[in-house]
A and B are shown apart, each in its own frame.
Chain A
């Protein structure tokens, strides 16, 4: 047995119990699993009378005692001094301090049933609050755009171009890769189905409509929501945590004008462009796969594409992308501005932002599909 292991031994004496402690009663020593197990057992087997009225405790052989050890002793004694205690002045002072400060812990406030019921109602208010905030954000964006149109020279163009680079240019590699792979996968799956019907040539229709009208805009929007939506929330949220938002407000600089609008504008410009880019790389993947699996030459594919896919599809895709972009920016800013000045809230806000913006993108896409079901097909 290690010399520094905390230990306790008791002997029956004529007038009660003689309890002797040894080793180092420090948190680090006490917390070693085997040591704690043994010590706990020896403490539990102490006679109840030894802990209090009839105990003579000898602490002089202890190597070291810290507050955790002293607390353990005090709790073992049932929070009162034993009949007799032999200890050094320093040990006594430490026990004294522990005795003085050992209080009944204040109960953690547990919610009553009524409060829990009312909390359900709070959820409703929270949703209403989110809606109101979002509405205010949209309204503010309209006003800010009005202000920008009146004096375009004073606009925050530097912010817009910075965001454009960060949201748009840096997203090109990942969107190209994902688009390309989706194109390849789709073409392979379709080719097998179409071959059953001998309708090989229809691969152009299927890929053209699916990719241009539906998949590429949604795919790009989801990627950008995960990539830039979260970074918008985190950026603005950190500004809240470090009081930068308050500093802006104190200087009379509008948060809507300098933070929300540049991001919304950059998204509105970047999203359609990224969508075109994603569409092109997806089509490239599709053409490649169609050539390899069905022998449909790229030349035929490209010449057949304009005839099968109306231009209206392209217009629809671009307008969808622009709406998605603005929505992602607004959701990101909304959650960013709602972050409270602590790290937990920052994490929650970022997660909620990504989940909400992806959900919103898909919902709005469904709405577009219903509204424009007669256009371009």
Chain B
């Protein structure tokens, strides 16, 4: 796919022969078996797979929250296990499924948290930077002093996205970004991610079940089935891939409906 000399530089996420094994009630359950994935700079890759196919486990492995049983995972040229060392917020941003906002902090303090933890920058600069990020994700400054418990689901996701982006990390991971949002909010959120991806030159890896989101955003789709990535290509090539899961997922009734979108959004293809 890429020249060997450039591979060290080009791969933002590089997974080689990953095995993930969980021990449940004395039995080993293999979730990933010889899984390979390669994400290049500037791509917007969607991970797709049935329930329990290990999408979230893979995301957690990329983040270094889960240690692989075997295999190598490197993110931005360093091993994933060392990703959460000091300064991680400037390397990778993660949007958790339910936002994971700190419930004891206000919106502004949540967004400013990674900057404040550097213990050096002056308070007014931190506040200004957090306010800019708050408005970049489409929220008004009047929400700055609200507490997370006073926010709607869509607002929580936006604040969480602003927090993930506060240090301008080159890599953004999203877990079900549009789950639990109404169609309007989901569309708006997709548009937001697309514009941020374009403006900030982010590399994005996301897990999603939502076909609309998938077609609207991804430049590439990686399908997880049978414990590894069975296909990793542009959306229109993935649809043509002969595999029962791909067929059911993309060409079922819901898939047909979402496919209409494919024609409307030339960006995705």
Contacts and interface: CB of A to CB of B under 8 A. Distances in A.
A340 interface: yes
Interface stretch (A94-102, A113-121, A142-150, A355-363): A94-102
A342 B131 contact: no
A68 interface: yes
Contacts of B127: 105
A71 interface: yes
A101 B168 contact: no
A106 B142 contact: yes
B132 A102 contact: yes
Contacts of A98: 132
Interface string A18-34: 00000000111011110
B118 interface: yes
A75 B128 contact: yes
Interface in B104-152: 104, 115, 118-121, 124-125, 127-129, 131-133, 135-136, 141-142, 144-145, 147-149
A98 B125 CA distance: 12
B103 interface: yes
B135 A103 contact: yes
Interface string B171-188: 000000000000000000
Query: Which secondary structure dominates where chain A touches chain B?
Result: helix
B199 interface: yes
Interface hub of A75, A105, A341 (most chain B Cβ within 10 A): A105
Interface in B72-93: 87, 90
Nearest to A109: B145
Given A26-B90, A75-B128, A102-B131, A343 B104 contact: yes
A69 to B, nearest CB: 9
Interface in A72-117: 72, 74-75, 90, 93, 97-98, 101-103, 105-106, 108-109
A344 interface: yes
A66 interface: yes
A103 B104 contact: no
B142 A75 contact: no
Contacts of A72: 125
B221 interface: no
A258 interface: no
Interface hub of A26, A67, A344 (most chain B Cβ within 10 A): A67
Contacts of B119: 31
A340 B131 contact: no
Nearest to A342: B103
A26 B142 CA distance: 27
A341 B125 contact: no
A360 to B, nearest CB: 28
Nearest to A100: B135
Contact of A93 (B141, B144, B199): B199
Given A31-B121, A36-B120, A93-B199, A106 B148 contact: no
A27 B104 contact: no
Contacts of A33: 120
B125 A340 contact: no
B131 to A, nearest CB: 6
B15 interface: no
A36 B121 contact: yes
A108 B103 contact: no
Interface in A317-345: 340-344
Interface in A49-76: 66-68, 71-72, 74-75
Contact of B132 (A36, A93, A101): A101
B65 to A, nearest CB: 20
Nearest to B106: A108
B140 to A, nearest CB: 9
Contacts of A67: 129, 132-133, 168
B167 interface: yes
A216 B80 CA distance: 55
A71 B148 contact: no
Given A27-B121, A97-B132, A68 B142 contact: no
B87 A30 contact: no
Nearest to B148: A342
B133 A27 contact: no
Interface hub of B120, B128, B145 (most chain A Cβ within 10 A): B128
Nearest to A28: B90
B120 A75 contact: no
Contacts of A30: 120-121
Question: Which 7 residue pairs spanning A and B have beta carbons closest together?
Answer: A31-B118, A66-B168, A342-B103, A101-B135, A28-B90, A31-B120, A101-B132
17 contacts: A26-B168, A30-B121, A31-B119, A68-B115, A68-B121, A68-B125, A71-B125, A71-B128, A74-B128, A90-B201, A97-B199, A101-B132, A105-B127, A105-B131, A342-B103, A343-B103, A344-B104
Given A31-B118, A66-B168, A106-B145, 9 more contacts: A26-B90, A27-B121, A31-B120, A66-B167, A68-B168, A71-B128, A71-B132, A74-B128, A109-B145
Interface of A: 26-28, 30-33, 36, 66-68, 71-72, 74-75, 90, 93, 97-98, 101-103, 105-106, 108-109, 340-344
